[in-house]
Structure 1
Amino acid sequence: MPKDVNTTGKQAVLYRMVMEGHICPYGLKSKDLLERRGFRVDDQHLTSREETDAFKKEHDVETTPQTFIDGNRIGGYDALRELFGDDVPDEDATSYQPVIAIFSVAFLMALGLSWSAYGSGFTLRAFEWFIAISMCFLAVQKLQDIESFSTMFLNYDLLAQKWVRYGYVYPFGEATAGILMVAGALVWISAPIALVIGTIGALSVFKAVYIDRRELKCACVGGSSNVPLGFVSLTENLMMIFMGLWMPARALGLF
């Protein structure tokens, strides 16, 4: 990024692809960001592949959109964000954002269900729903790309390393247990599933992280996640163990 770029002139030229079958999303984001920062945008459309390729060749760039301010080329959307001091996340950096989103929404859904059913958000059933809904969400993350999940899972799961197909079975087991626990039905099916996969998972994570001291990525939110293996995955498995013990105990009237 040029050091002498003047962002106070409030005039920018943006070149972005706007074709009949394709409008560049990063071009739209760049235009929106510039306008929100108070710039008047000279919005130049690249309306064909030939025109886009010619522009790239002329300016010796590999991608569009491209923004120019005071005649200086700033670059694409990420370069604009850097120019304005916004954080540009590293795609390979670890992040707990998916986990925070899953547990936050699961918690709010549990409160909502409890309020609808009992007139109060803070009930024992809300706690059960929170864990069960979290299990369902986590299972969906794995099922989006079960191949990637099963591959990452093989890095640390003890049973999957002995029986590779278990990596494909696990998400379906977690989803089944979670759905049945949301419904409060067929406890004698859901509880054993949760207890078995939760126990194996907890032992696997504990061994990999706290005994072998390995630094791995967690497959708990899917095979493309950048969540570090450790506390999150261990918590997921401990929640399943708890529900595997709690649900039948409550069904028997012990609590």
Structure 2
Amino acid sequence: MAKTAKLYRMVMDKHVCPYGTKSKYLLERRGFSVEDHHLTTREETDAFKDKHGVETTPQTFIEDERIGGYDALREHFGIGRDTSGKSYRPVLAVFAVGLALAVSLSLALLDGLSVRTVEWFVAFSMAMLAMLKLQDVEQFSTMFVGYDLLGQRFVPYAYAYPYLEALAAILMAGRLLPWISIPVAFTIGTIGAASVFYAVYIQKRDIKCACVGGSGDVPLGFISLSENLAMMGMAIWMLWRAFG
């Protein structure tokens, strides 16, 4: 016998509830035939809420039992949202895309992987991380001064950091102006590595990293340290290559 679910969701001319759309997709993916009831006006939506004593829509009913909204539906199917908080996923996503771009360019332009692939990987990753920080420099700087040793003593550095990181990344990607990119990358990378090491391994603090911008929830730790070590390593390599 086919499983049936009733879904009540807002579908108006100027607003289609995204959680209602996702609830319908989740039910269908789980093999349910969905009786999709559209709430097309604010008055109809308010009347539905009053009738069932709920504060939000969408609402899903399975076998006449009210399951609730989208989050409740996920929990009903045993796929509740991860509420553990901090995650390395944002920064790992940046590294993964940076690596994919570097490999793609290497295969297309260099006919294979080389040292240039590693250079592009570091530069592209730095550029994307800088871009995330630049979305809200004010919020980034607030998180950054919470652990950065120089930022705590000289607040303007916290505002300048994402611009410096972006500048170094762009120049390094094209091997341009090494006399600018090398000292910038090495300086911010060294200060950053020392700050993360001190906060995590000496003070043993459990705080969020500003590496993906102020809105991120990435824990300050080894992955955060790796960003700074990569900048230091890239600067040393570029120095050796340019002047060695």
What TM-score range do you get, normalising by the shorter chain? over 0.9
Choose which of 71, 93, 107 in structure 2 pairs with 1:115: 107
Partner-residue secondary structure (3-state), 2:159: helix
> Offset at 1:165?
1.8
Choose which of 43, 46, 49 in structure 1 pairs with 2:42: 49
Choose which of 94, 105, 108 in structure 2 pairs with 1:102: 94
Q: Which residue of 2 aligns with 1:144?
A: 135
Partner-residue secondary structure (3-state), 2:218: coil
Mapped partners of 2:80, 2:92: distance in 1: 19
Identity rate of aligned residues, in percent?
Answer: 60
Choose which of 7, 27, 49 in structure 2 pairs with 1:34: 27
Partner-residue secondary structure (3-state), 2:133: helix
Matches within 5 A, 1:220-239: 220-239=211-230
Tell me, yes or no, if the aligned pair for 2:145 and 2:155 is still in contact at 8 Å: yes
Q: Which residue of 1 aligns with 2:57?
A: 64
- Give the total of aligned pairs: 244
Question: Given residue 153 of structure 2, which amino acid in structure 1 is its aligned partner?
Answer: K
Matches within 5 A, 1:152-163: 152-163=143-154
Mapped pair 1:207 → 2:198: yes
Q: Which residue of 2 aligns with 1:3?
A: none
TM norm structure 1: 0.92
> Offset at 1:55?
1.5
Mapped partners of 1:42, 1:110: distance in 2: 48
Runs (4 or more) in structure 1 with deviation over 6 Å come to: none
> Offset at 1:9?
5.5
TM norm structure 2: 0.96
Question: Given residue 219 of structure 2, which amino acid in structure 1 is its aligned partner?
Answer: P
> Offset at 1:80?
1.2
Mapped partners of 2:139, 2:54: distance in 1: 33
Matches within 5 A, 1:161-200: 161-200=152-191
Tell me, yes or no, if the aligned pair for 2:71 and 2:80 is still in contact at 8 Å: no
Partner-residue secondary structure (3-state), 2:209: coil
> Offset at 1:243?
1.3
Mapped partners of 1:117, 1:149: distance in 2: 36
Mapped pair 1:217 → 2:208: yes
Superimposed CA distance per residue, residues 20-41 of structure 1 (whole angstroms, 9 cap, x where no aligned partner): 1100011001011111111111
> Offset at 1:87?
4.0
